[in-house]
Structure 1
Amino acid sequence: MPLTDLPYEDLLEYRPEPAAPEGLDAFWADTLARARALGGEPSVTPVADALLPAFEVSDVRFPGYGGEPVAGWLLVPRGAAGPLPAVVEYLGYSQGRGLPLERLLFPSAGYAYLVMDTRGQGHDTPDPHPGDPQWFAGLMTRGVESPERYYYRRLYTDAVRAVDFVRGLPQVDADRVVVAGASQGGGLALATAALADGLVAAALVDVPFLQHFRRAVEIAGVGPYPEIAEYLGLHSREQVERTFATLAHFDGLHLASRASAPALFSVGLMDPVCPPSTVFASYHRYAGHKDIEVWRFADHAGGRSSQQRRQLEWLRDRGLGAKA
């Protein structure tokens, strides 16, 4: 696969500086305050899984956007002395929480671990907002006519509320909660680090989606961004600008400057789904301490297991590793 974007040397200097939408901070402060005010009791139901004897596995539900229940799996190393550092992981586009045995890396490394189901994408968390207009099979245009109704307003809120939930668990050290994810999950991790600034100890942001929307929609050849391009191709110039005005409220390019937790990014220079320039654009604007792993010959899979090992080392070096 060839390079899909700018040469590496140009990526190091790629620093677009578009203005954030007016009222961005107030929009998110109001959104999250409303979700938290609705409250709702989480549930943690132990699951007996004889195939995973090394872990305590629980099926959880916590209140997300609108107080609506969001599913997840909670895995804790059996017999571990708490409080433990925790990892909250968000998933890629069209993925749900799956089965617990698919998500063993972080609990195997000694972390309390929550994987959040993705509303409207996983099997266990519906998105009960059928009135929102949607033009394609995917979710990128659902409610895109306004920030208030856009699908990702609900998903970003779920992601922040997942951190609220984990910080309240008795097994967890609330000062050592890490957010993580790849692709869409990486975009959610970055957004959560910004929107829950002060509540997140670190962010693992792999090949992130939902960055620098305008450029991504123009150059991404495959993946979810073309859903937006196809939609825009059917509408007037006025609708184009209104769409990008909505997307700006969810763009990691604007949210990155609002995050102070240390972050480890990764990027594949042959990624056709999340173009490298969009990743570097947000990376350069990220306000906290940041590092980036550049995989020169990787596509959207990034560094695979090598990146996972790097994540564990990076967390350990920052005092966020689990005790042996």
Structure 2
Amino acid sequence: MKKFSKQIVASSIFIIVFVSSLLAQPAQTLIDVNIAPEKSDWVYKPNEKAKFNLSVTKNNIPVQNVSVWYEVGPEMMPPLKKENIVLKNGTATIDGGTLKEAGFLRCRVVATYEGKEYAGLATAAFNPEGIRPTTDEPKDFIGFWDEAKAANAKIPMDAKVRLLPERCTEKINVYEVNIQNYKPGTRLFGILCVPKAAGKYPAILRVPGAGVRPYNGDTGNAEKGVITFEIGIHGIPVTMDASVYDNIRTASLDGYQNYNLDDKDRYYYKRVYLGCVRAVDYIFSLPEFDGNNIVVLGGSQGGALSIVTAALDNRIKGLVAFYPALSDVTGYLHNRAGGWPHFFNAANLSFNNSPQKIETSKYYDVVNFARHLKVPGFYSWGYNDVTCPPTSMYAAYNVITAPKTLFLVEETGHWTYPEQWGMAYEFALNILGK
């Protein structure tokens, strides 16, 4: 696997700071539970025994005689080993056992100090490049999506644009845009940022992570001379008061990931995936767009949508995907981790374990879109992600035959360091000629 150049252009600093504020590493705690595989690259061969080095520290000094319990097992699955121990000198080495096949072995530790619990985890990889998907591609997969795109293209875009003067700057205009998508009367909302200076510009389509929220738009890249369009997926305005989204999140859109999963033609993400293509249509309609150079970018659900959009729309020239969700979701049906939103894990199995839902999932699984990618992609994640398990992400990554760059930061979970975003934007802007 390749690691992209670590040179970060100075002009990316604003973006790095902005994004890292949204996807920052976890806050520090009084007690640090530090755990890592004994191997420096965290990678083992199948049947090779993994060991984890553990230390519990306060002010970077090991805590004497601290009680901990730990469990070890394949990620997201029931543990194979549990034990309570006392760390006399604040350190220990844990024998984690092994895996016979490609996958990930996770060690979770909880330390108790003055009545409070502090947790840490580490995940050892076993031949991750050997992980293969559990899902398969339906015979009519391409035909299904070609038909859906053709039907969507017949719906008038009917773009409505509203200037947001309070968000504009000396260099860019910022708008809330809504366009028709999926069926007449259904709208897609987003924030469009366009450089004011006359000229033709490349574009970035920014696709969202899971949830229900407002959006600010990607003003930083627009200031560099790039059209940016950051979209929501739920068909509601993206500039309302935060309390409105709180109410919607816990009411009508609670669990939207599961809506109509038993019907591939009505499943919630059909409108979402087609909306990403419709957003590309809108960018191509802009007189300021250069008509050629466009990249799609996102993390988590947005990482999934980046891959999906690039696979569905051959106008996309490159993609950035952080810890992509919706990848190999059937993993749990094969006794290993599956991707977010974990349709078939123990908590959801009784609700979702039906032939119709399993079959529908195949039409929306990122693995089956990844198989059809033809453009360069930048990917980044860590081994400690409990939201989008690395097993699921590698299942998608390993089937990609297009040029691909993977920047691993093994210790990270469902969060990023600024350097990851710096490299991602460097990658994207290079494709765009900026």
TM-score (norm 1): 0.84
| Equivalence map 1:134-213=2 (5 Å) | 137-196=254-313, 198-213=314-329
Output the aligned Cα RMSD: 2.9
Provide the residue aligned with 1:76 in structure 2: 194
Give me the whole-angstrom Cα distance separating, in 1, the residues matched to 2:192 and 2:283: 9
- Name the CA shift for 1:150/1:104 in 2 (closer, same or farther; >3 Å): same
Provide the residue aligned with 1:310 in structure 2: 423
From 366, 372, 388, give the equivalent of 1:252: 366
From 293, 298, 309, give the equivalent of 2:412: 298
Provide the residue aligned with 1:128 in structure 2: none
Structure 1 position 140, deviation (Å):
1.9
Give me the whole-angstrom Cα distance separating, in 2, the residues matched to 1:284 and 1:143: 29
**Runs of 4+ that moved beyond 6 A:** none
Q: Which amino acid aligns with 1:311?
A: A
From 249, 252, 270, give the equivalent of 2:384: 270
Contact 2:300–2:325 (CA under 8 A) maintained in structure 1? yes
Structure 1 position 46, deviation (Å):
2.2
- Name the CA shift for 1:210/1:153 in 2 (closer, same or farther; >3 Å): same
Deviates more, 1:201-210 or 1:220-229: 220-229
| Equivalence map 1:1-324=2 (5 Å) | 4=75, 6=104, 7-16=124-133, 18-49=135-166, 52-67=169-184, 68-79=186-197, 81-100=198-217, 103-119=218-234, 137-196=254-313, 198-215=314-331, 224-225=341-342, 230-234=347-351, 239=354, 241-302=355-416, 304-318=417-431, 320-322=432-434
Count of equivalent residues: 306
Contact 2:298–2:322 (CA under 8 A) maintained in structure 1? yes
Give me the whole-angstrom Cα distance separating, in 1, the residues matched to 2:350 and 2:285: 46
Q: Which amino acid aligns with 2:433?
A: G
Per-residue CA shift, 1:133-156, capped at 9, x if unaligned? x99931121001110110011100
Q: Which amino acid aligns with 2:187?
A: P
- Name the CA shift for 1:50/1:245 in 2 (closer, same or farther; >3 Å): closer
Max Rg structure: 2
Structure 1 position 17, deviation (Å):
6.5
Percent same amino acid at aligned positions? 24
Structure 1 position 76, deviation (Å):
1.9
Contact 1:61–1:71 (CA under 8 A) maintained in structure 2? yes
* More helix as a share of residues: 1
Per-residue CA shift, 1:145-186, capped at 9, x if unaligned? 110110011100101110111112111122111111100011
Contact 2:206–2:297 (CA under 8 A) maintained in structure 1? yes
- Name the CA shift for 1:94/1:187 in 2 (closer, same or farther; >3 Å): same
- Name the CA shift for 1:24/1:222 in 2 (closer, same or farther; >3 Å): closer
Structure 1 position 53, deviation (Å):
3.4
Give me the whole-angstrom Cα distance separating, in 1, the residues matched to 2:237 and 2:391: 29
Q: Which amino acid aligns with 2:231?
A: M
Provide the residue aligned with 2:91 in structure 1: none
- Name the CA shift for 1:29/1:123 in 2 (closer, same or farther; >3 Å): same
Give me the whole-angstrom Cα distance separating, in 1, the residues matched to 2:385 and 2:167: 39
Give me the whole-angstrom Cα distance separating, in 2, the residues matched to 1:96 and 1:87: 20
* More strand as a share of residues: 2
Deviates more, 1:226-235 or 1:171-180: 226-235
Contact 1:186–1:205 (CA under 8 A) maintained in structure 2? yes
Give me the whole-angstrom Cα distance separating, in 1, the residues matched to 2:282 and 2:262: 31
Give me the whole-angstrom Cα distance separating, in 2, the residues matched to 1:211 and 1:121: 26
Contact 2:187–2:236 (CA under 8 A) maintained in structure 1? no
Give me the whole-angstrom Cα distance separating, in 2, the residues matched to 1:305 and 1:121: 30
TM-score (norm 2): 0.64
SS in 1 for 2:321: strand
Per-residue CA shift, 1:2-47, capped at 9, x if unaligned? 7846133521221336430121111111111111112232122322
Give me the whole-angstrom Cα distance separating, in 1, the residues matched to 2:298 and 2:179: 19
SS in 2 for 1:249: helix
- Name the CA shift for 1:209/1:121 in 2 (closer, same or farther; >3 Å): farther
Give me the whole-angstrom Cα distance separating, in 2, the residues matched to 1:136 and 1:214: 23
Give me the whole-angstrom Cα distance separating, in 2, the residues matched to 1:262 and 1:216: 30
Deviates more, 1:48-57 or 1:85-94: 48-57
Q: Which amino acid aligns with 2:413?
A: D
- Name the CA shift for 1:93/1:176 in 2 (closer, same or farther; >3 Å): same
Structure 1 position 50, deviation (Å):
6.1
- Name the CA shift for 1:17/1:40 in 2 (closer, same or farther; >3 Å): same
